[in-house]
Structure formats: structure tokens, C-alpha cells
A = this chain, B = another copy of it.
Amino acid sequence: MPASKSTRMESTTNTRSQILDIAQDLIQRNGVNAMSYADISKAVGIRKASIHYYFPSKEDLVIDLLDRYNEQFYCLLDEIMASPESPKVKLNNYFGLFEETLSSGEQDKACLCGILTAELKTLSTPIVERVTKFYRHNEEYLEQILQSGLETGDFAFAGNPQTMARLIFSLMEGDLLIARADGGVARIQSTIQQMMALIKS
């Protein structure tokens, strides 16, 4: 691999990430099984065979997409965790990630992993592993926020932070999916507010 990138390499990177962008958009809207190379081809403006040049199989594409998506999401999570804000604000910022997903674009995008969850039984092991890793990561971070919130007195609730973290994650994934179909951004906002009210001390 060369030390310095040529202009050629840059255009490659652009096409590659453009394909990933479009694929992610299509999956978040319609699901993996309703997304085809032909769709991507049309949207990117290259021929179908050229997509196979970058991603030999559809599975390769989805794996690379999930790796990119997870990395990006974990970065946002780390930013929230590293901030000097109170647990209450941190949790609100976490909720914001989900609200932003629905607010973006045509307001019809769900969480990438949320959509894949519904189609999980049609997906290969490497993909399933990455989706479940996403759950675990989210739930661990949430648990940390909840734990420190209990300590600072920001939060007060029955049960343990782990179970509560799982509940909150399930809630956000479910509400994002449903709000997209019925209620929109207003619904997810009021759900977030309600959830905060339930655990605030």
C-alpha cells in the first residue's frame, strides 16, 4: 500500500463511500431485503457490476456498512460519555441520537440495526454478530449513565441499572420504528420526555 494517496485513490474512496451512503439510506428506509444492487446503481449513477467491484457480494456490503455505522455510533456514544455533563443531560443527549435519526431527511429513516433486527433471521452470522454487538454496546453505555445517575441522585427507580438499560434501549428502538409510521418526531419526543419522568428522582 502506497504511503501517499494519488488522486485516483481519492475518487475510489468517494465512490466506495457513496455506495455505502446510498445503501445505508435504502436499508434504513426499506430494509435489506428490499434493497438491491440495481437500486444503488441508479442512485449512485454507476453500473451494477461496478458495485460488485467494491463489494463482491451483498453480504460484504452489509458487513462493511455495519462496521462503519457502528464505529460512527460508538464515537458519538464516547463523546456523550466523555462530556462533563450530568447523567441526566447525558441520557438526554443519548435520546437525541434516536430523535435525530427520525428528524433527518424525509423523516422516514429508522435505526439501521433496528431495521436489521426485524430481518435478522434472514441474515448471516457475521451480520447478526454485528447487530447484537450494537445492542450490547448501547446497553452497556446506558447502564453506566444510569448507574452514575443513581449515585448522583439524578435518577431514582426500582430495579437494577442493567435491566433498566435494556428496557430503555428496547423502548427507543421500538418507538423509532413505530414513530416513523405513526406520530413522527412528536411521538418520539413525548416518549423520551415520559421516560425521563419515570426515572427522575
Contact = CB atoms under 8 A, between A and B. Distances in A.
Interface stretch (A44-52, A85-93, A175-183): A175-183
A88 to B, nearest CB: 15
Number of copies: 2
Interface of A is mostly: helix
Contacts of A178: 117, 135, 169-170, 173
Interface of A: 29-31, 33-34, 108, 110, 114-115, 117-122, 128, 131-132, 135-136, 157-159, 163-164, 166-167, 169-175, 177-183, 187, 190-191, 193-195, 197-200
13 contacts: A33-B34, A34-B119, A120-B181, A132-B182, A136-B182, A157-B197, A166-B175, A167-B191, A167-B195, A170-B179, A170-B191, A173-B174, A174-B174
